[in-house]
Chains A and B, each alone.
Chain A
Amino acid sequence: MAGSPYDPSRAPVAYGRRAVPQLFSELQQQEAPRRMRALASLCDLLRDPERISCTVSGGFLEQLKVLLKDEDSIVRAKTCELIHLLTAHRIGRQALLSSSFLPHLSELMDDSSSSCRRNVQRVLNRLTLMPAGAEALLTLVPKLMLKLREEEEEEEEDVQVLLLSTLSSCSCLDPLPALASDGVSLLLHKLSDSSTDIRREATAALMVLSVCEDGMRQVCEEEVLPVLVDLLRDEDVEVQANAAGVIMYAAIINEGKRQCLELDVIPILLSLVSQDGEEEKDKERKKALVMYSLRALTALAEAPQGRCLLLEQLPLLGRRSEAAEEDQDIRRNAQNAVRVITWTPCNTGDL
């Protein structure tokens, strides 16, 4: 427990309101061990939201900025951990954004110590939880992509996962910076990684990027679709769902439709949609997968060859669109798909 006299690695904690200010004044001391102990106690204390609000309102964030430039790497890592705890709450995130911590944090991304880098990535990841944070981080997107490219050599899996999730949160707001820095080819490389987490995050980021037309085009150009079709048979449900999502977006444009039909993706999607005999909780997790697959099939049904293939498989989809299906969204998607498949030019009143 922080402050107990038996714990030599923690500084003693003052009572009540004096705890945080006193620890911050400890941090200004010259001797490194005292600062380390004060940092350790602060890390324990700041899990409490009231302490966070006390820190923010007391204006101690400037001191943290100074500490970020300290020579000792452990101090820097601990300070980043502190900031990570601050980002757990909205007050902390807002305070961090308003006191312009981003330049310092982006410098620390190139730090020599790996724990420091990991903590900085955690902080950036948390910051993207709020839209203002994601907007602020948009400027850092090129640097993040650079880090992703470099990080491969060092094989830090969790840092890569964090980087990818930060990228996807930022690109939800505006995918253009990531696309401009050649994001699609980088993510393509990550898709074939051995770790499930990395694949999941990479496919999620790809899905976010392919929402805009530019992204759809790049996905088709860079030959991403074959890899995605392989990923549809992955073990992890989320990876499958995300891959289906990318395909669903890519199939909107003509080029995507053509490539998907070449790769013969329709049978795979149908097998994903038609799985019966699943348990309840599996259904929950697979809901996204089924929805995205149905949408992808709808998009592909707009192409003539696709429609021919799907007209034969109508009964299967019909089963999903019946009232027997509990999930309203899946039912709606299936009905939509059936409608698109059975559309003929004389059906509609207007063209």
Chain B
Amino acid sequence: MAFVSPTKRDQNGSYTFSSRPRPVEDRSKYREPPSEQTQSNYGNIMYDRRVVRGNTYAQQIIPTTALPDPVEVQRQQETRRRTVAAKRAREQCRTRTPEALQGRKHIDVQTDLYLEELSDVIVASDIECQTDAFLDKPDTPLFIPAKSGKDVETQIEEGELFDFDTEVQALLEVLVGKTVEQSLEEVMEEEELAGLRAQQRAFRELRNNELEEVLRLKEQERRRSKEKERRVAQQKEVLRKEREVAEKIAARAYTQQYLADLLPAVFTSLRSHGYFYDPVEKDIETNFFPWLMAEVNNSLEKRYTARALLDTIIDDVAHKRQEAFKDTQ
């Protein structure tokens, strides 16, 4: 079965066609009609009705109009019908071999001068062939073709193409010059860097120098100001102490003066408060007199009670006498 790949436009727009390879059908040499009709989509180009055959000089070119003229179409149909009819008519009028009589059969007979045997059997003969075994043969000699043509030679002599020394000078100048220039640049760069570094170092030394001076002066200043403060504080302390001492002296003088007549005043005040006493007198005062007074009080009390009693008795008697008097009235 043939497989024709669809013709497709290539990416570049060119036309491509490809079809699958198909095996050749094996048929016998003298073709017999195949037992089964293979429906093949292809046909032999020789028997294709679409292929133009014969002389094309006087060929009628089919007009490629999409819509053929209806009149034309009708006329073509007419001619077609007429040819068909004519053909049928001719067929009918054609004389054919009459039918065989009863009991007889028509048979094909060769009428040529020389008879030919017709048979189905195809004469076949087997032939074999075999190559001889390889024989040792000597190496083929080198094929040296015969000399043909004209020999020509040429040679470049010294000094014909170019003069090396003059030419190379320019190149060398450039090469060496560039290398030297580059190396000089690098050396200058390194020198510059070294100079910068030396400058930096010198600067750093000077800076350290001045920094030390600054720090030293700062420290000196700090020391001196501290010293000043200390001395001022010291002086203040001295003044304070002096003042304190002066106050102490003044206080001492005052107290001395105050305490001068303190002693007699104290003694008098004590004496006046009775802290210095005569013990006998005190004793009489504290022990004897209270007892005496108490005894006096007691005796007086007794007298009072007696008098009170007497008063009541008198009163009683008086009352009784009064009542008795009343009674007698």
- Please provide the chain A residues from 136 to 189 with a CB less than 8 Å away from any CB of chain B in the complex: none
Q: Which of A253, A254, A291, A302 contacts B209 (CB 8 A)?
A: A291
User: Can you list 12 residue pairs at the A/B interface with Cβ under 8 Å?
Assistant: A211-B215, A249-B212, A249-B215, A252-B216, A253-B219, A254-B223, A295-B213, A298-B216, A302-B216, A302-B220, A329-B206, A336-B213
Contact-residue size bin, chain A (C-beta under 8 Å from the other chain): 20 to 34
Interface residues of B (CB under 8 A from A): 205-206, 208-209, 211-213, 215-216, 219-220, 223-224, 228
In the complex, the answer to whether A329 meets B215 with C-beta atoms within 8 Å is no
Q: Which residues of chain B are within 8 angstroms of A253 by Cβ–Cβ distance?
A: 219
Minimal beta-carbon separation of A341 from chain B (angstroms): 14
Query: Complex formed: what's the CA distance from A288 to B202 in Å?
Result: 8
Interface residues of A (CB under 8 A from B): 207, 211, 245, 248-249, 252-254, 287-288, 291-292, 295, 298-299, 302, 329, 333, 336, 351
Q: Which residues of chain A are within 8 angstroms of B208 by Cβ–Cβ distance?
A: 207, 245, 292
Minimum CB distance partner of B205 in chain A: A288
Query: Complex formed: what's the CA distance from A302 to B209 in Å?
Result: 17
Q: Which of B206, B211, B213, B216 contacts A211 (CB 8 A)?
A: B211
Minimal beta-carbon separation of A211 from chain B (angstroms): 6
Known interface pairs A351-B224, A351-B228. Does A295 touch B209 (Cβ–Cβ under 8 Å)?
Answer: yes
Minimal beta-carbon separation of B217 from chain A (angstroms): 9
Q: Which residues of chain A are within 8 angstroms of B220 by Cβ–Cβ distance?
A: 302
In the complex, the answer to whether A295 meets B205 with C-beta atoms within 8 Å is no
Dominant SS among interface residues on chain A: helix
Q: Which of A249, A252, A291 contacts B205 (CB 8 A)?
A: A291
Query: Complex formed: what's the CA distance from A43 to B213 in Å?
Result: 46
In the complex, the answer to whether B205 meets A287 with C-beta atoms within 8 Å is yes
In the complex, the answer to whether A292 meets B216 with C-beta atoms within 8 Å is no
Query: Complex formed: what's the CA distance from A288 to B201 in Å?
Result: 10
In the complex, the answer to whether A295 meets B216 with C-beta atoms within 8 Å is yes
In the complex, the answer to whether B209 meets A252 with C-beta atoms within 8 Å is no
Query: Complex formed: what's the CA distance from A9 to B212 in Å?
Result: 54
Query: Complex formed: what's the CA distance from A299 to B205 in Å?
Result: 17
Minimal beta-carbon separation of A338 from chain B (angstroms): 14
Minimal beta-carbon separation of A219 from chain B (angstroms): 13
Minimum CB distance partner of A299 in chain B: B216
Q: Which residues of chain B are within 8 angstroms of A288 by Cβ–Cβ distance?
A: 205
Extra contacts besides A211-B215, A292-B208, A336-B213 (15): CB < 8 Å:
A207-B208, A211-B211, A245-B208, A248-B212, A252-B215, A252-B216, A252-B219, A291-B209, A292-B209, A299-B216, A302-B216, A302-B220, A329-B206, A351-B224, A351-B228
Minimal beta-carbon separation of A299 from chain B (angstroms): 5
Query: Complex formed: what's the CA distance from A54 to B21 in Å?
Result: 60
Minimal beta-carbon separation of B150 from chain A (angstroms): 43
* Interchain residue pairs A-B with the least CB separation, the first 4: A288-B205, A252-B219, A295-B212, A252-B216
Query: Complex formed: what's the CA distance from A351 to B220 in Å?
Result: 11
Minimal beta-carbon separation of B171 from chain A (angstroms): 18
Known interface pairs A288-B205, A329-B206. Does A252 touch B228 (Cβ–Cβ under 8 Å)?
Answer: no
Minimal beta-carbon separation of B286 from chain A (angstroms): 82
Minimum CB distance partner of B217 in chain A: A252
Q: Which residues of chain B are within 8 angstroms of A249 by Cβ–Cβ distance?
A: 212, 215
Minimal beta-carbon separation of B221 from chain A (angstroms): 11
Minimum CB distance partner of A330 in chain B: B209
Query: Complex formed: what's the CA distance from A57 to B220 in Å?
Result: 53
Minimal beta-carbon separation of A298 from chain B (angstroms): 7
Q: Which residues of chain A are within 8 angstroms of B219 by Cβ–Cβ distance?
A: 252-253
In the complex, the answer to whether B212 meets A252 with C-beta atoms within 8 Å is yes
Minimum CB distance partner of B193 in chain A: A88
Q: Which residues of chain A are within 8 angstroms of B224 by Cβ–Cβ distance?
A: 351
Query: Complex formed: what's the CA distance from A336 to B220 in Å?
Result: 14
Query: Complex formed: what's the CA distance from A287 to B205 in Å?
Result: 9
Q: Which residues of chain A are within 8 angstroms of B209 by Cβ–Cβ distance?
A: 291-292, 295, 329, 333
Q: Which residues of chain B are within 8 angstroms of A291 by Cβ–Cβ distance?
A: 205, 209
Q: Which residues of chain A are within 8 angstroms of B215 by Cβ–Cβ distance?
A: 211, 249, 252
Minimal beta-carbon separation of B199 from chain A (angstroms): 13
Query: Complex formed: what's the CA distance from A298 to B216 in Å?
Result: 9
Query: Complex formed: what's the CA distance from A253 to B206 in Å?
Result: 21
Q: Which residues of chain B are within 8 angstroms of A298 by Cβ–Cβ distance?
A: 216
Minimum CB distance partner of B228 in chain A: A351
Minimum CB distance partner of B227 in chain A: A351
Query: Complex formed: what's the CA distance from A211 to B211 in Å?
Result: 8
Minimal beta-carbon separation of A265 from chain B (angstroms): 16
Minimal beta-carbon separation of B73 from chain A (angstroms): 74
Query: Complex formed: what's the CA distance from A253 to B212 in Å?
Result: 12
Minimal beta-carbon separation of A183 from chain B (angstroms): 18
Minimal beta-carbon separation of A311 from chain B (angstroms): 18
Central interface residue in A249, A254, A295, by most chain B CB within 10 Å: A295
Minimum CB distance partner of A47 in chain B: B186
Query: Complex formed: what's the CA distance from A27 to B216 in Å?
Result: 57
Minimum CB distance partner of B224 in chain A: A351
Minimal beta-carbon separation of B233 from chain A (angstroms): 15
Query: Complex formed: what's the CA distance from A334 to B326 in Å?
Result: 153
Central interface residue in A252, A291, A302, by most chain B CB within 10 Å: A252
Q: Which residues of chain B are within 8 angstroms of A302 by Cβ–Cβ distance?
A: 216, 220
Query: Complex formed: what's the CA distance from A255 to B228 in Å?
Result: 20
Minimum CB distance partner of A88 in chain B: B193
Central interface residue in B206, B211, B219, B223, by most chain A CB within 10 Å: B219
Query: Complex formed: what's the CA distance from A252 to B215 in Å?
Result: 7
Query: Complex formed: what's the CA distance from A224 to B273 in Å?
Result: 85
Minimal beta-carbon separation of A129 from chain B (angstroms): 10
Query: Complex formed: what's the CA distance from A245 to B215 in Å?
Result: 13
Query: Complex formed: what's the CA distance from A292 to B207 in Å?
Result: 11
Q: Which residues of chain B are within 8 angstroms of A252 by Cβ–Cβ distance?
A: 212, 215-216, 219
Minimal beta-carbon separation of A238 from chain B (angstroms): 10
Central interface residue in B212, B213, B228, by most chain A CB within 10 Å: B212
Query: Complex formed: what's the CA distance from A298 to B205 in Å?
Result: 17
Minimum CB distance partner of B186 in chain A: A47
Q: Which residues of chain A are within 8 angstroms of B212 by Cβ–Cβ distance?
A: 245, 248-249, 252, 292, 295, 299
Minimum CB distance partner of A211 in chain B: B211
Minimum CB distance partner of A289 in chain B: B205
